[in-house]
Amino acid sequence: MDIDRIQGETIFVTGGAGFIGSTLIGRLLDSNRVTVYDNFARNALQEKSYNGHPNLTVVQGDILDYAKLRRAMKNSTYIVHAAAIAGIDSVIRSPVTTMSVNMVGSYHVLQAASTLKNCKRIVCFSTSEVFGQLAFRSKETSPAVMGAVGEARWTYAVSKLSVEHLAYAYYKELGLPTVTVRPFNVYGPGQVGEGALRAFVLQALRGEPLRIHGDGTQIRAWCYIDDMVDGILCAMVKDEAVGQSFNIGNQKTVITVYGLASTVLRVLRSTSEIQFIGADSVDIELRIPNVEKAKSLLGFEAAVGLEEGICRTASFYRAKIQE
Ligand SMILES: NC(=O)c1ccc[n+]([C@@H]2O[C@H](COP(=O)([O-])OP(=O)(O)OC[C@H]3O[C@@H](n4cnc5c(N)ncnc54)[C@H](O)[C@@H]3O)[C@@H](O)[C@H]2O)c1
């Protein structure tokens, strides 16, 4: 990937203190100025060795505060909009905040970006949840499914789908160079939010039972954080990305949730037991991406296998537990 194309730029990352944003900026800081704009509801940045890097500016701000957001974004040439309410527990707890931050906040980011003089790219984040409960080899053109009103989980998918529509509308109507990425189950060192793989690794390392919501037959494909970051960098660099949405995931790491728990135990040589607890909400039964579009247009292909990814993730959390 031609990341050298991004040099000497002024990059504005909303949600830059989060899991994905804070990892991404590590790849950009040495040759660019980066501003992280985050309300610090979560903070993975504090763990990073490059927190305090001379090219890094940190602004504590909310994307719902348009005036502050616009001021902080001034003179930026690249926008990565990762800020969101994400993670199913947070979404179910706060569906109103989920919809206002993800919809109104994203509108603010796109509107502020439309006032920039030299904006080269705006990368927005959607989600694989837009494909609904049964997503088998879902393509970017597969129909989006939103689920029933009254089921809080779907407020996340609906709000993220609206971001996609909005990003595309700003491209189509106002010529903004927008791209949307749809991450599929990202995991790895530095994850601060919710996520089954993070929970299983932590439980295994602490010798606690691995707790599965539901019966464990749910199927997922797991994408290691470094692959996800490669996908975002491709979306920032490649001209072909503009005006498009891309599935970013690893279609080779497909496994049931029970299979995942068993694999974590085996790979980490843990003697923890597996427990089944009630599901908190409707669940996604099947979620496997088709990543052909990202491969052919962006040259993106996930490289990190599941067992390797589990080992790298465990090394990170093991060191934290020992701190
Ligand atoms: N991690 C995944 O598997 C996954 C899957 C699908 C989509 N996504 C999307 O990718 C993006 C990044 O995800 P992540 O895993 O890094 O999540 P994360 O929760 O770790 O990071 C999100 C960041 O946004 C910040 N934030 C929340 N509300 C804000 C607000 N009102 N104003 C400013 N900042 C705010 C949080 O403090 C946090 O640092 C999100 O848009 C998410 O919806 C992630």
The domain spans of the chain are 8-184+224-249
Cα within 13 Å of Cα(245), Cβ side: 25
Contact 19, 192 (CB under 8 A): yes
The mean pLDDT value for 114-130 works out to 95
pLDDT value at 308 more than 90: yes
More confident of the two residues 280 and 116: 116
Query: What pTM was computed for the model?
Result: 0.96
At 1, is the pLDDT very low, low, confident or very high (cuts 50, 70, 90)?
low
String of b and e for 27-64 (b: at least 16 CB within 10 Å)?
A: bbbeebbbbbbbbebbebbeebebbeeebbebbebbbe
**pLDDT confidence of residue 132:** 79
CATH for 8-184+224-249 is 3.40.50.720
Check if 86 has its Cβ closer than 6 Å to any atom of ligand 1.
yes
Check if 129 has its Cβ closer than 6 Å to any atom of ligand 1.
no
Q: Which atom of ligand 1 is nearest to the CA of 90?
A: 19
Cα within 13 Å of Cα(62), Cβ side: 9
Strand ranges (DSSP E) for the chain?
10-14, 33-38, 56-60, 78-81, 121-125, 134-138, 178-183, 186-187, 210-213, 219-221, 223-224, 245-248, 254-256, 274-277, 286-289
Residue 318 is given by DSSP the state H
Check if 127 has its Cβ closer than 6 Å to any atom of ligand 1.
yes
Q: Which atom of ligand 1 is nearest to the CA of 42?
A: 37
Check if 182 has its Cβ closer than 6 Å to any atom of ligand 1.
no
Encode pLDDT of 33-85 as tens digits.
999 999 999 999 999 999 999 999 999 999 999 999 999 999 999 999 999 99
**pLDDT confidence of residue 182:** 96
The mean pLDDT value for 277-288 works out to 82
Q: How far apart are the first and last CA of the chain?
A: 36
Contact 167, 177 (CB under 8 A): no
Check if 180 has its Cβ closer than 6 Å to any atom of ligand 1.
no
Check if 254 has its Cβ closer than 6 Å to any atom of ligand 1.
no
Q: Which atom of ligand 1 is nearest to the CA of 186?
A: 3
pLDDT value at 134 more than 90: no
Check if 34 has its Cβ closer than 6 Å to any atom of ligand 1.
no
The mean pLDDT value for 144-171 works out to 90
Contact 44, 67 (CB under 8 A): no
164 residue type, one letter: E
Check if 38 has its Cβ closer than 6 Å to any atom of ligand 1.
yes
Distance 271 CA to ligand 1 centre (A): 33
pLDDT value at 111 more than 70: yes
Q: Percent helix, strand and coil across the chain, each rounded to 5?
A: 45, 20, 35
pLDDT value at 2 more than 80: no
CA separation for the pair 229, 21 (Å, rounded): 9
Of 131, 160, 165, which is closest to residue 147 (Cα–Cα)?
Answer: 131
Comparing 1-5, 158-162, 223-227, 262-266, the range with the smallest average pLDDT is 1-5
**pLDDT confidence of residue 27:** 97
**pLDDT confidence of residue 194:** 82
Token pair listed for 218: 């749910």
Distance 270 CA to ligand 1 centre (A): 30
The mean pLDDT value for 193-206 works out to 94
Comparing 111-125, 267-281, 295-309, the range with the smallest average pLDDT is 267-281
Distance 128 CA to ligand 1 centre (A): 14
Average pLDDT, the chain: 94
The mean pLDDT value for 203-220 works out to 95
Cα within 13 Å of Cα(284), Cβ side: 26
Gyration radius of the chain's alpha carbons = 19
Contact 260, 275 (CB under 8 A): no
The mean pLDDT value for 162-184 works out to 97
At 163, is the pLDDT very low, low, confident or very high (cuts 50, 70, 90)?
very high
Q: Which atom of ligand 1 is nearest to the CA of 86?
A: 43
Check if 101 has its Cβ closer than 6 Å to any atom of ligand 1.
yes
